[in-house]
Amino acid sequence: MTATTQIFRDSEADRRHRAKWWTSRIAIYGVLILWTIICLFPIYWTITTSFKMAPNVMKGNMVPFVDYQPAWLGWRSLGLSPDTIWEESTVRAEFMKRFMNSAVISVTSSALAVVLGSLAAYGLSRFNYRFGFMKNSDISFFFLSQLILPPVVLALPFLVLYKELALLDTRVGLILLYTLSVLPIVIWIMRDQFGSIPTELEEAALVDGLSVWGAFATIILPIALPGMVAAFILSLVLTWNEYFFAALLTSTHANTLPVMVASQTGSQGISWWSMAALSFAAILPLIVIGVVLEKYIIKGMAAGAVK
Amino acid sequence: MSNGDLLHVVTNDNISDGRKRFGRAMIWGTAGLTAVVGTLQVMQATGQAEFGFANWRPTLYAFCTWAVALCWGQVLIRGEHGKRTLFVLPAAIFVAALTIFPLLFGLIIAFSDWNLSSPTGRQFNGLDNVRQMWTDPFFWNALWNMVLYSAAILVEYAVAFGLALLLNAQIRARKFFRVAFLLPLMLSPVAVSWMIGKSMLEARFGPLSRLARFFGVENPSFFGSPEIARATIMIMDAWTYIPFMMIMILAGLQAIPKELNEAAKVDGANAWRNFWEVTFPLMLPVSITAILIRIIFKLKLADVVINVTSGGPGGATDTVTSFIFREYRERSNVGYGTLLAFVYLVIIVIAMTFLMKLADRWMRPRT
Give the 3-state secondary structure of chain B: CCCCCCCCCCCCCCCCHHHHHHHHHHHHHHHHHHHHHHHHHHHHHCCCCCCCCCCCHHHHHHHHHHHHHHHHHHHHHHCHHHHHHHHHHHHHHHHHHHHHHHHHHHHHHHCEECECCCCCCCEECCCHHHHHHHCCHHHHHHHHHHHHHHHHHHHHHHHHHHHHHHHHCCCCCHHHHHHHHHHHHHCCHHHHHHHHHHHHCCCCCCHHHHHHHHCCCCCCCCCCCHHHHHHHHHHHHHHHHHHHHHHHHHHHHHHCCHHHHHHHHHCCCCHHHHHHHHHHHHHHHHHHHHHHHHHHHHCCCCHHHHHHCCCCCCCCCCCHHHHHHHHHHHHCEHHHHHHHHHHHHHHHHHHHHHHHHHHHHHHCCCC
Write the residue in A49, A148, A247 that is nearest to B199 by C-beta. A49
Q: Hey, where are the domains in chain B?
A: 17-110, 132-363
Give helix B334-363 / helix B320-331 axis angle, nearest 10°. Answer: 170
CB contact under 8 A, A294 and B352: no
pLDDT tens, position by position, B204-215: 778 888 888 888
Q: Position B172: which residue type? A: R
Question: Does A207 reside within a domain?
Answer: yes
Question: Does A84 reside within a domain?
Answer: no
Report chain A residues whose CB lies below 8 A from the CB of B183. Answer: 39-40, 43, 287, 290-291
Residue B2: per-residue pLDDT: 40
Q: Which of A78, A99, A132 is the last residue of a domain?
A: A78
Q: Report whether B288 contacts B359 (CB < 8 A).
A: yes
Decide if B248 touches A, using CB distance below 8 A.
yes
Architecture of domain B132-363: Orthogonal Bundle (1.10)
Decide if B54 touches A, using CB distance below 8 A.
yes
Q: Report whether A146 contacts B99 (CB < 8 A).
A: yes
Q: Which of residues 262-301 of B touch A (CB under 8 A)?
A: 285-286, 289-290, 293, 296, 299-300
Instruction: Give the ipTM of the model, two decimals please.
Output: 0.88
Phi/psi for B113 (5° steps) reads -95, 105
Count of domains for chain A: 2
Look at residue A165 and tell me whether its pLDDT is greater than 80: yes
Q: CA distances (Å), A58 to each of A45, A62, A144, A234, A274, in order? A: 14, 11, 49, 38, 15
| Whether residue A71 is found in the same domain as residue A108 | no
| Whether residue A74 is found in the same domain as residue A120 | no
Assign A73 a pLDDT band (cuts: 50, 70, 90).
confident
Candidates A230, A233, A238, A221; CA nearest to A119 is A221
Count CB neighbours of B202 within 10 A: 17
pLDDT tens, position by position, A104-158: 999 999 999 999 999 999 998 888 888 778 888 888 888 888 888 888 888 888 9
Question: Does A50 reside within a domain?
Answer: yes
A2 CA to chain B: closest CA distance, Å? 45
Question: Residue A110 sits in a domain of what CATH number?
Answer: 1.10.3720.10
Question: Does A28 reside within a domain?
Answer: yes
Candidates B293, B348, B290; CA nearest to B319 is B348
| Whether residue A106 is found in the same domain as residue A171 | yes
CB contact under 8 A, B171 and A147: no
Residue A3: per-residue pLDDT: 58
Residue B170: per-residue pLDDT: 84
Name the DSSP letter for residue A2.
Answer: P
Look at residue B60 and tell me whether its pLDDT is greater than 80: yes
Residue B1: per-residue pLDDT: 39
| Whether residue A57 is found in the same domain as residue A189 | no
Closest alpha carbon within chain B to A141: B92
How far, in Å, CA of B42 to CA of B53, rounded? Answer: 11
How far, in Å, CA of B30 to CA of B70, rounded? Answer: 9
Residue A121: per-residue pLDDT: 92
pLDDT tens, position by position, A27-48: 999 999 999 999 999 999 888 8
| Whether residue A173 is found in the same domain as residue A275 | yes
Sequence-ordered list of residues with C-beta below 8 angstroms from that of A112, at least 6 positions apart, any chain: A175, A179
CB contact under 8 A, A157 and B180: no
Report chain A residues whose CB lies below 8 A from the CB of B342. Answer: 153
Length of chain B, in residues: 367
| Whether residue A97 is found in the same domain as residue A191 | yes
How many Cα atoms occupy the beta-carbon half-sphere of B170 within 13 Å? 4
| Whether residue A65 is found in the same domain as residue A115 | no
Average pLDDT across chain B, whole number: 85
Q: Which of residues 247-266 of A touch B (CB under 8 A)?
A: 247-248, 257-259, 261-262, 265
How far, in Å, CA of B190 to CA of A283, rounded? Answer: 10
| Whether residue A47 is found in the same domain as residue A101 | no
Question: Does A250 reside within a domain?
Answer: yes
A131 has which bridge partners? A134
Residue A270: per-residue pLDDT: 61
Question: Does A7 reside within a domain?
Answer: no
Q: Report whether B279 contacts B261 (CB < 8 A).
A: yes
Phi/psi for A131 (5° steps) reads -100, 95
Question: Does A137 reside within a domain?
Answer: yes
pLDDT tens, position by position, B131-169: 888 888 888 999 999 999 999 999 999 999 999 999 988
Q: What burial class does residue B98 get, using C-beta atoms within 10 Å of its C-beta: 0-12 exposed, 13-18 middle, 19+ buried?
A: buried
| Whether residue A165 is found in the same domain as residue A267 | yes
pLDDT tens, position by position, B162-195: 999 999 888 888 889 999 999 998 888 888 888 8
Report chain A residues whose CB lies below 8 A from the CB of B4. Answer: none
Closest alpha carbon within chain B to A198: B5
First to last CA, chain A: 70
Write the residue in A153, A195, A283 that is nearest to B345 by C-beta. A153
CB contact under 8 A, A282 and B191: yes
Query: Please, what is the Cα angle at B258 between B252 and B260, to 5 degrees?
Result: 95
Rg (CA), chain A: 27
pLDDT tens, position by position, A251-293: 888 888 888 888 876 555 567 788 888 888 889 999 999 899 8
Give helix B226-255 / helix A12-49 axis angle, nearest 10°. Answer: 120
Query: Please, what is the Cα angle at B156 between B150 and B162, to 5 degrees?
Result: 155
Report chain A residues whose CB lies below 8 A from the CB of B307. Answer: 243, 262, 265
Question: Does A6 reside within a domain?
Answer: no
Percent of chain B with pLDDT over 90: 20
Write the residue in A122, A216, A286 that is nearest to B187 by C-beta. A286
Length of chain A, in residues: 307
| Whether residue A69 is found in the same domain as residue A113 | no
Residue B314: per-residue pLDDT: 79
Cα pseudo-dihedral B97, B100, B104, B105, rounded to 10? 40
Q: Which of residues 4-33 of A touch B (CB under 8 A)?
A: 28-29, 31-32
Best residue of B78, B88, B99, B301 to probe chain A, by most A CBs closer than 10 Å: B88
Sequence-ordered list of residues with C-beta below 8 angstroms from that of A34, at least 6 positions apart, any chain: none
Q: Report whether B247 contacts B161 (CB < 8 A).
A: no
Decide if B61 touches A, using CB distance below 8 A.
no
Q: Which range marks the domain in which residue A163 is found?
A: 90-303
